[in-house]
Structure formats: structure tokens, C-alpha cells
Structure 1
Amino acid sequence: MSMNFQIKFKRENGDLHVNPVGDFDGSSAWELIHLIHEQYGGQGHVHIDTGRLKRVCPFGCNTFQCQFYQSRIPAHRLLIKGKNGPALAPKGSRVEMNSQPFDCGCDGNCAHCHCASEAMQKESHLEMEKEA
């Protein structure tokens, strides 16, 4: 496993939520697939958030996909989120891209998001121009 890789996970409402962090190579892929095999109870879905992966090696993605196909987990129960999701996702799994339209990387729903307030100010300014 890469020295710059770790996996955080939790179980919630029958689902397994997995958050790999760092560089994703072949040994990281093995670590991820083994953790999923050990922790997935056969119920619910497996959610993998790729948002904190830094360097994603094509060999790591290929290793993960090949090992996943040999697992007992149905592909339709795997949901992969984040910008690295398409590279990591095995066929039959679901990929969810994060939409982050604001400069700070959030979706504008933060309690104190300056980006959202700036966007609202621009939008209201445009609406006033249209009315004038």
C-alpha cells in the first residue's frame, strides 16, 4: 500500500461508506477491495467517495475493477462519488459526480458561504438590470 494512502469507513443504515484518502495505486486497490469484502454485510449499498484521492494510477483502477468483478457484491449496489469516480467505477456500478459551482468547492449550501452570497448578489443585480 502506498505510504500516502489510508481508508476511513463507517456503517450507516445498512450501507457501508468508504472514504479512501491519498494516492491510489495497485496496492491501495487491494487494500480497498479487501476492506469492502470484510466490512460489507450483504445488505444495503457500498458508497465510495473519491474526493480525497490525490494521484489515481490507472493500474490501481484496473486492479480494483478486476477484483470487484470477482467479489460477491453486485455492481448495482456500488455507488462511487467524486471526480475520480468514472476512472474507478466497475461496469454496472453507479457514478455520481460532485457539482461544485462555487469557488470554495462547496455547493452553495454552507451556512456561511461567501461564494453563495456573491452568486446571489450577481443574480439579483442581473434581475434588476432586466427590470430596468
Structure 2
Amino acid sequence: MEDVPMSINFQVEFKKSNGNQHVNPRGDFDGSAAWELIKVLHEQYDGRGQVYIETSNLRELCPFGCSTFQCGLNRKHLPADRLIFKGEKGVDMAPKGSNVIESFPKHR
């Protein structure tokens, strides 16, 4: 997994596996973090496969960050239906047309 240097309060790790991209943002998701994530996605997405975004390591979701992310994606380059958000915070982040897989607690 490759780390992309960002601000102190936000980091993005990503790796490619089986033609898909796996992205793991960490920290506080504000407007600046949204632009940083958009930049990584636009630079790394090669037009093939799905992009899985793990949201469990995001601490605070700022509504402005979510709105910035949803509006700032270039959907011609990265169509929303290629985005799959993992975790409950994905519900707030996901642009229209993308998918969210919410985690469910394991029962014993």
C-alpha cells in the first residue's frame, strides 16, 4: 500500500489489486481533505475496475467536505458507478450513482 503525503490531519493510502483500486483515507474529512482525495482518485484511476473506498478510518465528516467531494469528482473520468464505499460513513460521502456497503457488527 502506498501512502500519499497530505496534511497532518488527513492521509490517503491506496493500492491496486486485481484491476481494482483500494483507497483508505484516514483522519478528518473537511473541504481540503475532499480535494486531496479527489486529486488522488483522478491521478490513480486508469479507467478500469472499481474503486473501493474504506471509510472506517475517517474520524470526523464535515458536511462541506462531503459536498465538495460529491461535486468535485470528474464523473467523465471516474464514473460514480465505479465507486464503492465501505462503511457507514460512506452513506454521507457517496456521490449519487455510487454504491455503499455498510458494515454490520458481528454477533457471537
Q: Is the shorter-chain TM-score for this pair beyond 0.5, marking a shared fold?
A: yes
Give 3-state SS (helix, strand or coil) of 2:42's partner: helix
Residue equivalent to 1:38: 43
Provide the rounded CA distance (Å) in 2 between the counterparts of 1:43 and 1:75. 13
1:26 aligned to which of 31, 34, 37: 31
Higher relative contact order, structure no. (Cα contacts within 8 Å, ≥ 6 residues apart):
2
Correspondences of 1:60-75 after superposition (within 5 Å): 60-75=65-80
The percentage of counterpart residues that share the same residue type is 54
- Count of residue pairs the alignment pairs up: 103
Moved over 4 A (4+): none
Which has more helix, going by share of residues?
1
Give the number of the structure whose residues are more often strand, by fraction.
2
The one-letter code matched in structure 2 to 1:35 is V
Q: Does 1:50 align with 2:33?
A: no
Match of 1:3 in 2: 8
Q: For 1:50-84, what per-residue CA distance to the aligned partner results, in whole angstroms no more than 9, with x for missing partners?
A: 00000110000000000125551111110001110
Secondary structure of 2:36's match? Answer: helix
Q: CA RMSD in A?
A: 1.4
Relative to the length of structure 1, the TM-score reads 0.74
> What SS does structure 1 have at the residue aligned with 2:35?
helix
